[in-house]
Structure formats: structure tokens, C-alpha cells
Amino acid sequence: MDKDINIVKKVCKELGVTQKELAELLGVGVDTINKSASTGKVSKQLETSIYMLLEIKNLKNKLTTFNDLKNILKNIIS
């Protein structure tokens, strides 16, 4: 990810969550998220957690798409 982009603010916007909600999703303190959002400095652990959260969101979206396709095909076959 581009180092000039504040990853915390970007992810909050992308997921539609507050910084407090992001902290809860990641299992970290609100102060950790707030500090990272204000300074733009993110620890390697926090960065990894954020990327994993985004990957989970991406995989859930793909699973939903596959389930929708499965149901369409099931209805066509029936």
C-alpha cells in the first residue's frame, strides 16, 4: 500500500466503520487506532491485522457471490 495513504482512515472509510469499531474488529485498543490514524504510523502487527481483515472481507464477498451462483444454477437445473 502507498506509504502516503493513511491506512487506518482508508480502511475505516472502505469498511464503513468508525475507528472505535475498527479497533474492536482487530482486537486492539482504541488508542492504538487513534494514534495510528493521527500520525499515519502503523506497526507491522497492526498493518498485518488490517490486511487480514480486508482479506476476510474480500473472501466473504466472493463466498456470497459463489453461493448466489450456486443457487442460480440449482434453480436452472431444477
> Residue holding cell 437445473?
77
Distance between alpha carbon 9 and the CA centroid of its chain, in Å?
11
Domains of the chain, earliest start first:
7-77 (1.10.260)
Question: ∠ CA 7-11-17 to the nearest 5 degrees?
Answer: 140
CA distance 10 to 30: 16
Per-residue model confidence (pLDDT) at position 56:
96
Secondary structure tally for the chain: helices H, strands E:
4, 0
pTM for this prediction: 0.78
Q: What is the pLDDT along the chain (78 residues), one digit of tens a residue?
A: 556 689 999 999 999 999 999 999 999 999 999 999 999 899 999 999 999 999 999 999 999 999 999 999 999 998
